[in-house]
A and B are shown apart, each in its own frame.
Chain A
Amino acid sequence: MTTMTAAGDAAHTRHHWWQHRTLSRFLRHRLAATGLAIILMLTLACLLGPHLLPYDELTVDLRARFSPPLTQDHYLGTDPLGRDIAARLLMAGRISLLVGFSVMLISTVFGTLIGVVAGYFRGWVGSVLMRIVDAFLAFPSIFLVLVLSAFVEPSPFMITVIIALTCWMEIARIVEAEILSLRERDFTIAARLSGASARWIMFRELVPNAMGPIIVAATLTIANAILLEAYISFLGYGIQPPLPSWGNMLNSAQQYLADAPWLAIVPGITITLAVSSFNFIGDGLRDALDSRSNLP
């Protein structure tokens, strides 16, 4: 779903992204700043919130099942087991955000590795690697995730790995394209002439210069990973109870849609909020890193 934000066209500058001008551009990007603020708040709430709420996320109270929001101190209501939805939402946030970040880390490292090697060595190595990338890109990622998750023991770790398996290709492509052009630049040629090893050139010269697009793509990967986790958990193949995740909170919501719509509305809005925030951040980062773009 982040295809539209193909980060590949972000110009690679010799600036480092953290340089002052870039940062100020980013911060001027109001939506991105809002997104960042929301993510920070959400993360903070997920970390601290559960300690402040009167209920924990596992306490079952069948007498209080299906309480609508604002019933006593169940601010967001309760679920079919009478558990506090606010507490579950925040604990679920820990899982969902953690899955999102972990997927981002795994797929960024893996995708970058493949992309750098393919781009630097080109030839048959690059060709084989990129055909594998193409093969993974050739099925809709949802198809791949579903096939994998239907046959694997669904621990949070495995879910993370499965989602990461379908998220690394975009990054590999972007990095390969970057490296292909960077390797012909003066500084690379100079390094090569001075006898630097391939590994040194790849990871000390090329990767740091391709960092901008990688960071943009990584941000968008988090957004994508959260959506994928939500979908497979919604189908029942993802994170398993009693561990809450935003997706599996929606799992039972469908059955009770007519009588307890808040079961669906609360996690759905939270997912949308988190995913939009990451998308806005990614967008802002791209604008900030792209010297050509004009800010509104």
Chain B
Amino acid sequence: MTTPKDTDRPLGKLPLDRRRFLHLGAAGVASLILPWSLAEQTLAAETVTTSGRLSIGFSQEPTVFNPLMPHIEVDDGIHWNLFDPLFFADPQGNLVPALAAEVPTVENGGISADGLSWHIKLRDDVRWHDGQPFTAEDVAFTFRLTVDPDFRSARHAGFDLIDEIEVISPTELRWTMSESYAPFLSILATTFIVPSHLLASQPNEAPFNNAPVGTGAFKWKDRVAGDHILLEANEAYFGTGPGLEEVVFRYIPDITVLYTQFRTGDIDVIGMQGIMPDHYEEAKGLNDKAVVLVPSASVESIAFNMERPQFQDPAVRQALYLALDKATILDALYYGLPEETESYMPHQSPYYNHELPPHQFDLEAAKQLLDDAGWLPGSDGVREKAGVRLSFTNSTTAGNQVREQMQQFVQQTWLALGVDMQISNRPPAVMWGDYWMQSQFDSVVVGLNFLTGSDPDVSNYFRSDAIPAQNGGGQNTFQYQNSEIDRLLGEGASEPDPAKRQPIYHQIQAKIRADLPLLPLFQYAYIRGYKDGLQGFEGNINTRISTWNVNQWRWS
């Protein structure tokens, strides 16, 4: 049915978009060195019978089919099936080769010890969907196109550090980088390779952009805009699968209708936004349906604009956290599904600090804290100190109903503390425009994935030189400034040894937890469902979308 609810509104879901590529596998020290000690695993072409058809429901419409152009989460759901990266991260966080014959490491000589020279060997049995052979030229072309000033490329990061690319043979290429940039490995793991022969001229307007040709397990067949996209099996796929003849991605703009159609069997798989928490119990009881909880790397928080006078006193932030009834919010509004958290770092990350002090809801302690700090109730009951009233606005995407319920619940609790929080939500385009980027808000409710690729680095969000409102280039819209954090972040980014990095990032998490530039609420988990008999469905926290491995799906 209608409406751009939270979910079907393009920007309403933005925070959820931020599931970056992460190595979130088995926790522990072993996984700390994951990128460099790869599982011996390749995409061995198993023989799979290709049969049957499958329909997947999305509450947003995929519209960008050139994977290098700016796109949103749902577009990824198509890209994964049409294209391949050189290598990708599996659910355990292992890098698995796809178009590359092996994942480059220092050990196998793929990456030089100083991190400046890279050498990649490619598979020799890959063809584009139109029959043209896939070669190293395509990879070199993709890298160059990414930084082509005339091309509307989504991102430059990493690729702009490449000095020179040398194609040695159709299956081999080499490049050098102007500086060592460890996250590049994880950037490559989400970079899909595009065909040079179809994008050489006018890549912004090429027919390719609406009739993509890839190397993936499925070929583009048809799109009815506003309704569905149809892919068909690529029988010549080099990897596992495909196990399905046709896959339909159906655009169903409303989550209620999406769920209804899943229940009635009109769609086989409920993709994003998935099933709403309030339908979880009912969905689990459905006949012939499997309903699974898929964790995500995004963390929901109430974040402050630290330049506002109300939030400069740490006692205020601590008191607000004490007066935040997280347990009730999670249990009642989110049906206990997401995981409570104390950190911006996902629990599955090997860098997650398990020693952070647990949150406690204690209204009286909060009042005491504010009293002691000199914030005393004024005539209208709102606390104030030195002419600053504890009154501020809280914003998020208008129409995100569960968040709005949470805001109103928090508003009531904080009112009892003597804090006046006004809700001031905005339409998505306004909310995440300058209002967010230039820190024009007082406080926000936002879900973010803070990590930089596979790396635990959070410089983008917490360094004092990453504040857009102060001419920084990052995403530190909280305007959080802490020289100690700056120092630790610098140290952590330049330290190559994962074992030595761990204590640094534990320290950063502890400091952020103590400083509270944002009040962490929970780590997201999504409910997905599929029809019984479908095999191969597997959540992957390292990708943004659950249709990352449709090549391995099949009906039993």
A-side residues, CB < 8 A to B, are 58-60, 62, 65, 80-81, 149-154, 234-237, 240-242, 251-252, 254-257, 259
Contact = CB atoms under 8 A, between A and B. Distances in A.
A131 B341 CA distance: 59
Contacts of B278: 255-256, 259
Contacts of A234: 2-3
Nearest to A62: B332
20 contacts: A81-B409, A150-B429, A152-B427, A152-B430, A153-B426, A235-B3, A236-B5, A236-B9, A236-B399, A236-B401, A237-B427, A240-B423, A241-B423, A241-B425, A251-B399, A251-B401, A254-B5, A254-B254, A255-B5, A255-B278
A242 to B, nearest CB: 5
Given A240-B424, A254-B2, 11 more contacts: A62-B409, A80-B405, A150-B429, A151-B427, A236-B6, A236-B398, A240-B398, A241-B407, A242-B411, A252-B405, A255-B255
Given A151-B427, A235-B399, A255 B409 contact: no
Nearest to A250: B3
B427 A60 contact: no
A60 B276 contact: no
A81 B255 contact: no
Contacts of A153: 424, 426, 430
Nearest to A153: B426
A32 to B, nearest CB: 33
Nearest to A65: B332
B328 interface: yes
B486 interface: no
Contacts of A60: 408-409, 412
A115 B407 CA distance: 45
Q: Which 7 A-B pairs have the closest CB atoms?
A: A236-B399, A62-B332, A252-B401, A235-B3, A242-B408, A60-B412, A150-B427
A126 B353 CA distance: 72
Contact of B256 (A58, A59, A257): A257
Contacts of A150: 427, 429
A252 B411 CA distance: 19
Contacts of B110: none
B256 A255 contact: yes
Interface in B225-260: 254-256
Contact of A81 (B2, B405, B429): B405
Nearest to B332: A62
A153 B255 CA distance: 26
B427 A254 contact: no
Nearest to A256: B278
Contacts of B407: 241
Contacts of A241: 404, 407-408, 423, 425
B422 to A, nearest CB: 9
Contacts of B9: 236
A166 to B, nearest CB: 17
A149 to B, nearest CB: 7
A240 B429 contact: no
B279 to A, nearest CB: 9
A255 B411 CA distance: 23
Contacts of A252: 401, 404-405
B382 to A, nearest CB: 16
B1 interface: yes
Interface string B30-70: 00000000000000000000000000000000000000000
Which residue, of A58, A242, A251, has the highest number of chain B Cβ atoms within 10 A? A242
A154 B425 contact: yes
B328 A62 contact: yes
Interface string B396-421: 00111100110111011000000000
Contacts of B405: 80-81, 252
Given A62-B332, A150-B429, A241-B408, A235 B423 contact: no
Contacts of B411: 242
Given A236-B4, A254-B1, A154 B426 contact: yes
A157 to B, nearest CB: 13
Interface in B423-464: 423-427, 429-430
Nearest to B331: A62
Given A153-B430, A257-B256, A240 B2 contact: no
Identify which of A59, A149, A153 gathers the most chain B CB atoms within 10 Å of its CB: A153
Contacts of B6: 236
A150 B9 CA distance: 11
Nearest to A59: B412
B427 A154 contact: yes
Contact of A237 (B1, B2, B398): B398
B329 to A, nearest CB: 9
B276 A237 contact: no
Contacts of B409: 60, 62, 81
Nearest to B409: A60
B342 to A, nearest CB: 23
Contacts of B332: 62, 65
A254 B332 CA distance: 19
Nearest to A240: B425
Contacts of B426: 153-154
B150 to A, nearest CB: 30
B324 to A, nearest CB: 14
B503 to A, nearest CB: 40
B399 A237 contact: yes
Given A235-B2, A240-B423, A254 B430 contact: no
A151 B408 contact: no
Residue among B328, B405, B411 with most chain A CB within 10 A: B405
Nearest to B399: A236
Interface in B1-15: 1-6, 9
Given A149-B427, A251-B401, A235 B1 contact: no
A154 B435 CA distance: 14
B332 to A, nearest CB: 4
Given A65-B332, A153-B424, A255 B408 contact: no
Interface in B95-127: none
A100 B429 CA distance: 27
Nearest to A61: B412
